[in-house]
C-alpha cells in the first residue's frame, strides 16, 4: 500500500483552487492521504470549509489530525465537524484501518526531548504544560492498543502534528525545541511496534529520523518537503 503524507497545509479562504490539482494527482499516486495537522491557517471554520471543498476531488481516503493553528480560535471542534465525512477522517485518539494498515492519530504536544525533556515540577502552569504532553502520549498509546486488540497483528502507522523525536526538528532554533514536540510521544511508537510515524509543525526541521526501536519518523511539513525538492508536496511511503 502506498501512503501519501503532508502536514501544515495552512489553508486560507483565498487559497481556493490551490490544492485541487495536487489532490487530484495524489489520488493517482497513493491509496490513502495523511495530513499531519495545521489544516487551517488561523483556526477558522471558513478556512476548513475551503479545504473541505478542495478535498472533494480526492478519490482516496483522507486521514488527518488537527494542529496548533487549528486550535488558535478555540473553534477546533467546528473545524473537525466541517471536515469530517465518509471520506475524510479527523482523528483525535481514534483509529482508521485501510488495506490492512491501522492508522492512529493524535495532535501531540510539546515538552522537549531526551535529557532535556521538561519535568512535572514547579509552578502549576509548568505542571499543566507537561501534563498535556503526557495526556497526548497516553492518548496515542490507547489508540495503538485498540488497533492491537481489535485487529491483532496489524501493521500500525502513527499520525500526529508534534514531533516524537528531536532529529526531525533539527534546523529550527534550539530554543523552540520544547514547543515542537516531546519524547513522551516516542515511547508508544516503540512499545506498540509502529512501523512509521508522520508529523509536521517544524517547518525548518529535517525530513527523516528514527525513534527508539527503529521506528521511522518523517517530518512531512510541506515546507520541509519543498526544501527537499518535492515538486508535488506529498511524501510517498510504501508499506
Strand partners, 157: 103, 196
CATH superfamily for domain 2-238: Metallo-dependent phosphatases (3.60.21.10)
Tens of pLDDT along the chain (239 residues)?
Answer: 999 999 999 999 999 999 999 999 999 999 999 999 999 999 999 999 999 999 999 999 999 999 999 999 999 999 999 999 999 999 999 999 999 999 999 999 999 999 999 999 999 999 999 999 999 999 999 999 999 999 988 999 999 999 999 999 999 999 999 999 999 999 999 999 999 999 999 999 999 999 999 999 999 999 999 999 998 889 999 99
Distance CA 239, CA 231 (A): 22
Q: Is the pTM of this model over 0.95?
A: yes
What angle, rounded to 10 degrees, do the helices at 45-55 and 76-83 form? 20
Distance CA 225, CA 135 (A): 29
Q: Cell digits for 86?
A: 465518509
Question: Which residue, 75, 52, 46, 47, is CA-closest to 64?
Answer: 52
Q: Are 169 and 219 in contact (CB under 8 A)?
A: yes
CB within 8 Å of 41: residues ≥ 6 apart: 10, 11, 12, 47, 69
The pLDDT score that the predictor gives to residue 145 is: 97
Amino acid at each position: 500500500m502506498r501512503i501519501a503524507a503532508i502536514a501544515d497545509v495552512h489553508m486560507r479562504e483565498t487559497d481556493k483552487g490551490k490544492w485541487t490539482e495536487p489532490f487530484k494527482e495524489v489520488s493517482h499516486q497513493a491509496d490513502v492521504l495523511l495530513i499531519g495537522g495545521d489544516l487551517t491557517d488561523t483556526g477558522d471554520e471558513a478556512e476548513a470549509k475551503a479545504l473541505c471543498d478542495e478535498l472533494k476531488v480526492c478519490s482516496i481516503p483522507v486521514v488527518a489530525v488537527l494542529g496548533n493553528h487549528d486550535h488558535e480560535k478555540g473553534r477546533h471542534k467546528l473545524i473537525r465537524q466541517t471536515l469530517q465525512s465518509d471520506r475524510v477522517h479527523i482523528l483525535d485518539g481514534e483509529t482508521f484501518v485501510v488495506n490492512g494498515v491501522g492508522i492512529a492519530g493524535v495532535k501531540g504536544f510539546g515538552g522537549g526531548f531526551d535529557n532535556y525533556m521538561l519535568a512535572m515540577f514547579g509552578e502549576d502552569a509548568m505542571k499543566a504544560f507537561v501534563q498535556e504532553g503526557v495526556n497526548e502520549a497516553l492518548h496515542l498509546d490507547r489508540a495503538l492498543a485498540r488497533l492491537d486488540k481489535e485487529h491483532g497483528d496489524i501493521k500500525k502507522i502513527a499520525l500526529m502534528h508534534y514531533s516524537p523525536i528531536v532529529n526531525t526538528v533539527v534546523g529550527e532554533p534550539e530554543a523552540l525545541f520544547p514547543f515542537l514536540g516531546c519524547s513522551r510521544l516516542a515511547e508508544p511508537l516503540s512499545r506498540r511496534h509502529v512501523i512509521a510515524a508522520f508529523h509536521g509543525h517544524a517547518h525548518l526541521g529535517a525530513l527523516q529520523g528514527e525513534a527508539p526501536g527503529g521506528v521511522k519518523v518523517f517530518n512531512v511539513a510541506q515546507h520541509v518537503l519543498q526544501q527537499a525538492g518535492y515538486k508535488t508536496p506529498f511524501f510517498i511511503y510504501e508499506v
